[in-house]
Structure 1
Amino acid sequence: MKFDMTAVFQRLLDEAYRVVAALPLLIFALLIVWAAWLAGRWISQRAWVAHASKSNPFLQDLARTTVRWFVLGLGVLIALEIMQATALVGAVLGTAGVLGVALGFAFKGILENYLAGILMSVRQPFSPRDHVVIDGNEGIVVALTSRATVLMTLDGNHLRIPNALVFGSVTLNYTRNPSRRFDFEIGVGVNEDLIRAQSLGIDELTRIEGVMDKPPPRALITALGDSNVQVAFHGWVDQRAHEFLQVRSEAIRRVKLALERAGMDMPEPIYRVQLHEARKTEAGKDATPGREGSGAGVSKPVDTRATKDVLEQIDNEQQSHPQNDLLDPAAPRE
C-alpha cells in the first residue's frame, strides 16, 4: 500500500502562504491592541474619571480599572474585526460567560463581600468610631475594607464581620443620635405612697451630673407584684460628654439611697432575718454590715464623664496596622 503525501504537503503549503499573507494585518492588529492598552492607561489617569468618587479611594481604583479594561477590550474587538475573525469573538464571549458563571459559584462569598463593600462605601451607613450593634455584635467601628467591617468590641477585642453580613443585617447605631435613654426598675412596698416615690426618684435624677434636663427624667409604674410595685425610672444621657453605663449606675445608686432616706419600704420576694450586734467606728458612726450609715452622709462624687479607653486602643490599632479605610467621616450618611 502506497501513501500519497502530496495533498497533505500542498495543504500545509497553502496554510503557510495564508499565514505569511496575513502577517501585515496581524502586526497591525497587535499595534492596535498595544495602542488601546496605552490609551486606556492614559484615560484612566485623568482627573475626570475619579471626580465622581474623589472621596472614596476604593471607587477611584475601581473606576480607573474599569475604564482601562473597557478601552483595551474595544481595541481587541477592532483588531479582530480587521483580521476578519469576528466569529472568534462570539466563541470567546460564550466561553467567558460560562467561565464567569462557574467562577461566580466558586467565589460566591468573596464576590458578595466585595459588592457589599462597594455599596456600603457609597452609602456610608456609619462613620469611623461609631458605636454600633451589627447582627448582635457590639463595638466601635475601626474601618471598612473591601471584604470586611472591622470593629473594636467594648472589651478591647478585634472583630471582623463580612461585608455581606453587615449589608443584610439590622444595624443599631448609638452614635448617630448622641442622646440615649437609660431605664431601671425599683420595687416599692405596696403600702407606700407611689406618687411620692416617683417624685423622690425624679428629683434625685435631676441632681445627677450627666442626666439631661431635656428630655426630663420620668418615672412610671410598670407592674404590681406579689410583695411590691415596680416603678421604672427613665433618664437621658448625652454620650458625647458622659459615659452611658456610668451615669446609669450612678442613677440606680442615688435613687435607691434617696428612697431609703425617705423611709420607703423596698421589700424582697424572700425575707431573711439576721441577728447581729452593731459596731461603732472611731467616729461613732454605725458600721453595721449592709448599711451605708444613716443615709445622711455625703458620698464621694462619681465621675461620669465619657471615657476614651476603647478609642485609645483604636488609635493603636490603626497605627500598627494601617489599612485602606473606605469610610469618610466627612461624607453624607444615609
Structure 2
Amino acid sequence: MNNHLQNGVNTTADKASGGLAQFFSDFISALPLWIAAIVVMVVAYFFAKFIKNIVGNRLAMRQLNQEIIILGERAAFTITLTLGVVISFKIVNINLDTLIGFMGLGIGFALQDILSNFFAGVLILTQNKFKIGDIIRLEDIMGTIEEIDARTTQIRSFDGTSLVIPNAKMINAIVENYTMNTFRRVNLEVGVHYSTDLPKAIALTLESVKKNPQVVPNPEVQVWATKFDDSAITLAVKFWVESTDNRFAIKSQVMQQLKADYDAAGIEIPFPIRTLALDQSDRNLMQALHLPVKK
C-alpha cells in the first residue's frame, strides 16, 4: 500500500517537473518572438505618430477645416497603430479571432462610456454643428470652444475658467451656437420718468442707438414701451450687431450714448421712488423725534 502511494506521488512529481520544464523550454524558445513583437509595436507607435503628422500637414496645405484635419490625423494614427498590433500578434501566433471576441466583450462593458464619447467626438467633427473657436451655450455654461479631443470638448468660459465636457453630453444636450449666425440680437431695457413724452423718448432712443456704427441697419432697431414699473415706464430696445465677440462692448457703448442723449434732451432715468403712508402712531413718533411731518 505504501509502495503504491509512493509510486503515485513520484509519478505526479515527475509530470509536474516535466510540465514546468516544458513551459520554460517553450518560453525560452518563444522569447525572441515576443521581443520582436514588442519591437514591432513600439516602432508602429512612433510610425503612426509620423504618419499622423504627415496627414495633418497635407490636409492643412489644402486649407481644410481644422475639424477635418483633426479627424484625418486620428484616423491615420489609429489605422497605422492597429496594423502594427495585428502584425505583433501574428508574430507570437496569437489567435486574433479569439482575442477580438474577448476584446469586444470587454469593450462592451468596461469601455462603454469611453466609446460613446469617442463616437460622439467623431460626429461633432463630421457634422460641423459647432467647431473650434465658436461661442456656445450649454445649459448654464457659456464660452468659446478651444479644443475637441477624442472623448471631450474643452470650453473656455467668459470668466476664464477651463471646462472639460464629455462629447456624449455635447451631442445629447441642447447647444446654442452664437457664432453660426452672422448677426446677433442685443436686448436692452431703460426706464424713463412718468412725466416723459413717450413718442419723443422712443424717437430719441431709436436715433441714439443708430448712431453706433456697429449696429446693423437691417434688421432695423426696435423700441417699444413695454410696462409700467414702480418708478418708471420701461422701454425695450432691440438691435442687431454683426460681431458676436464684441456684442457686450457694443451694448456698453450704446448705453453710454443713450444716457448722454437723454441728459441732453432732459429725459430723466428715475431712481426708485416709494410712497409711505403713516398712521397716527407713526406721526406721533416723528413729532417726538422732531422730524418734519406733512399735514
* TM-score category of the 2 structures, normalised to the smaller one: 0.5 to 0.7
Where do residues 90-109 of structure 1 align in structure 2 (5 Å cutoff)? Answer: 95-96=102-103, 99-101=106-108, 103-104=110-111, 108=113
Structure 1 segments unaligned to the other structure (5+ residues): 81-85, 273-334
Change (3 A) 1:210 1:130: same
1:224-265 C-alpha deviation (Å, 9 max, x unpaired): 23443211111111217x821221112122223323333334
1:111, CA displacement in angstroms?
4.5
Match of 1:60 among 76, 84, 87: 76
Is 1:257–2:273 an aligned residue pair? Answer: no
CA distance in 1, matches of 2:201, 2:208: 11
Is 1:230–2:234 an aligned residue pair? Answer: yes
Change (3 A) 1:2 1:169: same
Cα pair 1:113 1:162 within 8 Å, conserved: no
CA distance in 2, matches of 1:103, 1:123: 28
1:112-152 C-alpha deviation (Å, 9 max, x unpaired): 44443333233343333222233422223322223432333
RMSD, aligned CA: 4.5
Secondary structure in 1 matching 2:137: strand
1:216, CA displacement in angstroms?
1.8
CA distance in 2, matches of 1:261, 1:76: 87
TM-score, reference length from structure 1: 0.55
Which residue identity is paired with 1:65? L
Change (3 A) 1:252 1:2: same
Q: Percent identity?
A: 19
TM-score, reference length from structure 2: 0.61
Q: Which has the higher helix share?
A: 2
CA distance in 2, matches of 1:147, 1:72: 27
CA distance in 2, matches of 1:184, 1:161: 32
Which residue identity is paired with 1:103? A
1:159, CA displacement in angstroms?
0.3
Cα pair 2:137 2:176 within 8 Å, conserved: yes
Is 1:170–2:163 an aligned residue pair? Answer: no
Structure 2 segments unaligned to the other structure (5+ residues): 60-68, 276-295
Which residue identity is paired with 1:58? R
1:202-228 C-alpha deviation (Å, 9 max, x unpaired): 011111231111222110122123443
Match of 1:159 among 162, 166, 173: 162
1:328 alignment partner in structure 2: none
Change (3 A) 1:94 1:166: closer
Cα pair 1:148 1:160 within 8 Å, conserved: no
Which residue identity is paired with 2:257? R
CA distance in 1, matches of 2:266, 2:13: 116
Change (3 A) 1:102 1:234: closer
Aligned residues: 244
CA distance in 2, matches of 1:265, 1:46: 68
Query: Which has the bigger relative contact order, CA under 8 A and spacing at least 6?
Result: 1
Which residue identity is paired with 1:195? P
Is 1:130–2:146 an aligned residue pair? Answer: no
